Amino acid sequence: MLKIAIILGSTRPGRNGEAVAHWVLDLAQQRTDATFELVDLADHHLPAIDEPVPPARGVYTHEHTKSWARTIARYQGYVLVTPEYNHSAPGALKNALDRVHGEWANKAAGFVSYGVDGGVRAVEQLRLTLSALQIAHVTAQVSLSLWNDFANFSEFTPAPHQQQALTTMLDQLISWSAALAPLHTTADPVPAT
């Protein structure tokens, strides 16, 4: 069975993303074609990149990087839950993506974004990063508007059509994750120290 991580990409106190990520998880767990787990970046100590060797070489020296590599390696696909900050993705999410390399390769990702304009610019920038990491990103995405999907810009109240948008994105993500699964191994690429 495929294992998909729902990565909560904001670490900001009071973030709207926590409610969004739990909504995604609750609906995703009703499916029978994959298992889903929440990976909250706030639970991982990932300082600004502090590895002396570029991540593409796969040589990690710090335990927090090795731990993150093991976390990412466990999954065959990812749902990135991201806000839009200043027309881009949050630095914590970009740092998490950049920190390891091979553990992402030949897997698939989908997006659930939120912001004043639905977070679409954050997703467009993340698509470039994911392409460089060899992560196949599906076309369907969920774009949540702070105007229409949040009461008072803070209480998550998704419009009814958003559930269908999530289902469509997850359908694509599961299909692509299954298709790519033969291209990566299940072996732990980063041994525990």
Give the mean pLDDT of the chain.
94
> Given a cut of 90, is residue 193 above it in pLDDT?
no
Summarised one tens digit per residue, pLDDT across range 55-102 is: 999 999 999 999 999 999 999 999 999 999 999 999 999 999 999 999
Burial class (CB in 10 A: 0-12, 13-18, 19+), 94: middle
Within a domain: residue 190? no
- Average pLDDT of 174-188? 83
- What confidence category does residue 189 fall into, taking pLDDT thresholds of 50, 70 and 90? low
Residue 158 sits in a domain whose CATH number is 3.40.50.360
> Given a cut of 90, is residue 192 above it in pLDDT?
no
Within a domain: residue 191? no
Within a domain: residue 124? yes
Within a domain: residue 36? yes
- The DSSP output letter for 113 is E
Within a domain: residue 115? yes
Measure the CA–CA gap between 68 and 190, rounded to whole angstroms: 10
Structural domain for 135, as ranges: 2-183
The H-or-E segment that residue 164 falls in is helix 161-180
- Average pLDDT of 163-189? 88
> pLDDT > 90: what percent of the chain?
94
Start-to-end C-alpha separation, the chain: 28
- Average pLDDT of 120-140? 97
What pLDDT, on the 0 to 100 scale, is given for residue 188? 46
Structural domains in the chain (count) = 1
Within a domain: residue 90? yes
Instruction: Give residues with Cβ within 8 angstroms of 5, minimum separation 6.
Output: 36, 37, 38, 39, 71, 72, 74, 75, 77, 78, 79
Measure the CA–CA gap between 137 and 107, rounded to whole angstroms: 9
Is the pTM value of this prediction over 0.75?
yes
Residue 34 Cα distances to 5, 127, 129, 134, 178, angstroms: 10, 23, 25, 21, 10
Of all residues in the chain, what percent are helix, strand and coil, respectively (each to 5)? 40, 25, 35
